[in-house]
Amino acid sequence: MFRINDNFTKLPASYLFSEVARRVKAYAEAHPGVEIIRMGIGDVTRPLCPAVIEALHSAVDDEGRAENFHGYGPEQGYAFLSGKISEYDYKSRGIDIEPDEIFISDGAKSDTGNIGDILSTANRVAVTDPVYPVYVDTNVMAGRAGSLGEDGRWSNIEYLPCTAENSFVPALPVGNPDVIYLCYPNNPTGTTLTRSQLKVWVDYCREHGVLLLFDAAYEAYIREADVPHSIYEIEGAKEVAIEFRSYSKTAGFTGIRLGYTVVPKALKGLDSNGDKVALNPLWRRRQTTKFNGASYLTQRGAEALYTPEGQRQMKESVDYYLENAAMLRAGLAEAGYEVVGGINSPYIWLKTPGTMTSWEFFDYLLDRYHIVGTPGSGFGPAGEGYFRLTAFNTHENTRRCVERLSGK
């Protein structure tokens, strides 16, 4: 009989956000008529901006005319979009990233999970803790993680704690990993690293031959001058880092899906013979074989974001969510909670009261205040005793959330 990939059986039964959804559904069915404010999953609430809608309509018209019809597109993305990304997202900041180093996809989640296809299963991995679950789970699926201990840690993964004790700044690894995942602005803590702090990581990776997988999905929320928008703002990063970006939280593309990954041509790893091999053509080969490319319609929609109107409208949406984040941060602090995040990020990370566990606090918020968030323990062992709220809701619901929590 055929065999399965045993690594999948090592994973917990359900994905974190699926478990949150299951519990909320059960509560809602048991309490009909209760109005629940959902601030758990990081989905957006504002509609696509007018510039994108106009571009989408135009692209649909293209598909209805034989002379403008587009079938299969280039798996790595259309040049009309990768050129704009190169110009606006990188060269405008003095970063020399060329269009053929940019790979357009259906989202950063897919790419952060799939990037392991071009990496040896023998690589040792390090992650910050707490961490976006996809980084860990996809390495479990690939067979890099080892076994799951009673402490919630995988035996072959090095965890780099980010807690109040170290001001949510991870220490450099001690286990000599081959691959490190960093996400800044961070999901779930909402914290950031400055230029000098990120330089420490780039220098470490250059010295030790480590691949840095840098998730910059929330860079549009950065407002402080000393927080880099791209890892490539750090000297030497193109030799060691792959960067992932998304249009989901910046332009509301959670429903139509689009993101991109940058694999610099200067980035090289070793093959089994010890010879250096460039990763850019490996990722191109992977994408052209296992991915059909993001849709023409969606890429035309994203192209419109790089017009003056598109830039202005996108910033309006990001500012809207940042206003929610500021409202949450201030309201929670006034109510006596210890909070971080919400300044350069749409996420608020708060300490649960007393000895209450993350899931106990989840039930407490849902039952008493009818508010949904995400238990910190779902992001890793160091997340226990913490809780994540998102700013991706309306001003009205955010205000009501704060009022409920503060007893007003």
pLDDT tens-place string over residues 186-222 = 999 999 999 999 999 999 999 999 999 999 999 999 9
With 90 as the cut, is the pLDDT of residue 12 above it? no
What is the model's pLDDT at position 408? 59
Contact between 347 and 336 (Cβ < 8 Å)? no
pLDDT one-digit tens code per residue, 164-188: 999 999 999 999 999 999 999 999 9
Cβ within 8 Å of residue 301, ≥6 positions away: 48, 52, 53, 55, 56, 59, 253, 256, 258
Angle between helices 50-63 and 308-334 (to 10 degrees): 130
pLDDT in tens, 216-273: 999 999 999 999 999 999 999 999 999 999 999 999 999 999 999 999 999 999 999 9
Please give the pLDDT value at position 382: 97
> pTM of the prediction?
0.96
CA distance 401 to 168: 26
User: What is the pLDDT, as a whole number, of residue 40?
Assistant: 84
pLDDT-derived band of residue 42, with 50, 70 and 90 as boundaries? confident
Please state the rounded mean pLDDT for residues 318-344. 96
Mean local confidence (pLDDT), 133-146: 97
406 band by pLDDT with thresholds 50, 70 and 90: confident
What average pLDDT does this structure show over 8-25? 86
Give the chain's mean pLDDT: 96
- When mean pLDDT is compared across 33-42, 286-295, 397-406, the lowest value belongs to 33-42
Average pLDDT over residues 59-79: 97
pLDDT > 80? residue 13: no
pLDDT of 108 higher than 80: yes
Residue 15 has pLDDT above 80, yes or no: no
Q: How far, in Å, are 103, 134, 251, 378 from residue 109 at the CA level? A: 14, 7, 16, 17
pLDDT tens per residue, range 349-393: 999 999 999 999 999 999 999 999 999 999 999 999 999 999 999
Is pLDDT above 90 for 56? yes
In whole angstroms, how far apart are CA 57 and each of 65, 91, 155, 253, 283?
A: 13, 29, 50, 15, 32
Structural domains of the chain ordered from first start: 6-47+309-406 (3.90.1150.10), 54-307 (3.40.640.10)
